[in-house]
Amino acid sequence: MPTKISRFLLLFLALFFALPEMHSQSAPQAGDAPWWKHAVFYEIYPRSYMDSNGDGYGDLNGIASKLDYLQALGVDAIWIAPCFPSPQVDFGYDVSDYENIDKTYGTLGDFDRLEKLGREHGIKIILDFVVNHTSDQHPWFLDSRSSRTAKKRNWYIWRDGKAPNQPPNNWISGFGGSAWQWDDKTNQYYYHYFYPQQPDLNWRNPAVVNAMYDTTAWWYKRGVAGFRLDAVDTLYEDPALKDNPVLPGKDDRGDPNMRNEYNQKLPEVHTALQGLRTVANKYDAVLIGETWTSDVNELKRYYGSRNDELQMPMDLMFINLKFSAPVFRQHIAGIDASGGWPVYVIGNHDKPRSWNRYGDGTHNDHIAKDMAALYLTLRGTPILYYGEEIGMQNNDPVRKEDVKDPVGRLTWPTDKGRDGERTPMQWNGTPNAGFTTGIPWLPIPVTYRTYNVADELQDPNSILNWYKGLLALRHKDPALIDGDYIALNQDDPNVLSYLRKHNDDAVLVVINMSAAPQKASFDLKPQGFNSGHAKTLMTTQNMGATQKLSEIALQPFAVYIGEVAK
């Protein structure tokens, strides 16, 4: 019979051992850091994640049924690509009602249930706010286009042509062709940076700005933890509608190349971001930005000069980097020193899958593990793209008539559009990869038979278990949560290495980014670590529990992660 004291001791021990488990269910909090700094985000393309009703399209109940999976993976927040009512011309990025759920994806009741279940799993919900434009079926636009004197005429950008049959200026749509659409009803053109079915809102009209701010508040009150802001760069246009400077040559849609000087990245964008942030602050919400930039200085601006814009502008430059140690070393150094909190992304619904993009065609699985080790151990917040954790591959359409993404039909066959990176999540080896009992809206590549969640969970060396291990480590190791980034062996052309140092502890990350065996050697005395050894935490190759730092032999594409202490 245990005594009272030993019963207390047993209870204490039970609680003590239960704690790490409990912690892994929510983003670790260290000091006063806001939750999103230590969270792992995960982008879900709702059409493709999990179909709960057999119609071939993913839905919110499908996502809810996978929260256990996401929790076990180590995800703290999911960003759901637009799930609002929409004619689906751009698969949800053409919203016809900002305050509801598209029936393909469920109901507001389903959303509330997902939000509640999410909370129980320690997973927050981030929605995708399409701020630049609505659908041409949105009631605001239906009113706007109804007459020149309509109440909401000025909610969009209407202009006369330059001359008969000539648009107001030379601006080109990001999806090809003129950015101006003639409308017979009122004999004027309206402006659309994206498809003609996506008319641009007029952000110079305070009524529009207020309506958009109110929409965010409406969702925050419903429990949304933040937004990913879509296409923020195109919010404002030059009121004088000056022609953009034309550059030599044509793009792959046959349009003249030009510098989008007067319809992109206008300074007023930052005023709008400050306004959206003011609302977000009232609800302790986070704003993630779709921020395509060409250098670190440009990216820095989105945080706001007083840290009053986006908390999380995405470093989308990462997506376009070549898989090479010096290239990544240089880029990370710039971002890490920029003063902003880095937000790393290696893939999304607009870019070919990371497995294909960084892969060399032969060692793609190894390279997928290298990329995971890299961006999941850096100082900053990572955003995973669904399926990346199982090594999902691009599955481009083979025939033009199968293409679903309109932009793919336009540029076929040079660019086959974005269907390839949006195919259904591969849950298991049964027909349709366990995604649907119906006909999936996009075809699933045959590789699902080996690259799927169920099979990979059984394989200790799978990409999925590598991700799970990395995320578990990331959630519990103070050096990975809060440590400084210190680049090591900066002249090495093949091996990328760095320390994440926190007080007296550090994690050493070593990645052989080459197809040849390499040797790496570290002297960490300058950083205050004299032992000359590391305790192995994770590695892709066979290594002892303790590793001598003066000589680490690395197989092609191998990763070594070890703990060094003073």
Positions touching ligand GLC (CB under 6 A) are 90, 93, 130, 194, 230-231, 290, 349-350
Alpha-carbon distance of 80 to 42, in angstroms, equals 9
Alpha-carbon distance of 167 to 158, in angstroms, equals 11
CA–CA distances in Å: residue 74 to residues 116, 123, 382, 488: 18, 9, 12, 28
CB of 290 to ligand GLC, least distance (A): 6
Phi, then psi, of 168 in degrees rounded to 5: -55, -30
Alpha-carbon distance of 357 to 349, in angstroms, equals 13
Catalytic-residue membership of 290: yes
Residue of 290, 309, 370, 396 with catalytic role: 290
* Closer residue to ligand GLC (CB): 28 or 417: 417
Backbone angle region of 227, left / alpha / beta, with phi > 0 → left and psi within -120 to 50 → alpha: beta
* Closer residue to ligand GLC (CB): 41 or 328: 41
* Closer residue to ligand GLC (CB): 169 or 348: 348
Nearest residue to the partner ligand GLC, using Cβ: 93
343-345 and 312-313 strand pairing: unpaired
CB of 459 to ligand GLC, least distance (A): 33
CA–CA distances in Å: residue 53 to residues 62, 68, 236, 238: 8, 19, 41, 47
CB of 422 to ligand GLC, least distance (A): 9
Residue of 102, 230, 233, 388 with catalytic role: 230
* Closer residue to ligand GLC (CB): 290 or 477: 290
**118 Cβ contact partners less than 8 Å away, ≥ 6 residues apart:** 67, 78, 124, 125
Instruction: Please return the burial class of 100, using the count of CB atoms within 10 Å of its CB with bins 0-12, 13-18 and 19+.
Output: middle
Which SS3 state, helix, strand or coil, does residue 15 take? helix
Alpha-carbon distance of 153 to 233, in angstroms, equals 23
* Closer residue to ligand GLC (CB): 296 or 345: 345
Cβ atoms of 562 and 513 within 8 Å: the answer is: no
CB of 171 to ligand GLC, least distance (A): 16
CB of 130 to ligand GLC, least distance (A): 6
Which SS3 state, helix, strand or coil, does residue 549 take? coil
* Closer residue to ligand GLC (CB): 219 or 328: 219
Residue 236: name the closest of 157, 127, 134, 154 by CA.
157
* Closer residue to ligand GLC (CB): 290 or 492: 290
* Closer residue to ligand GLC (CB): 350 or 365: 350
The radius of gyration computed from the CA coordinates of the chain, to the nearest angstrom, equals 25
CB of 373 to ligand GLC, least distance (A): 27
Angle at 139 between CA 135 and CA 140, to 5 degrees: 80
Torsion sign across C-alpha atoms 41, 407, 130, 235:
positive
CB of 299 to ligand GLC, least distance (A): 16
CB of 133 to ligand GLC, least distance (A): 7
H-run or E-run covering 108: helix 108-121
Catalytic-residue membership of 237: no
Alpha-carbon distance of 112 to 497, in angstroms, equals 44
Catalytic residues: 230, 290
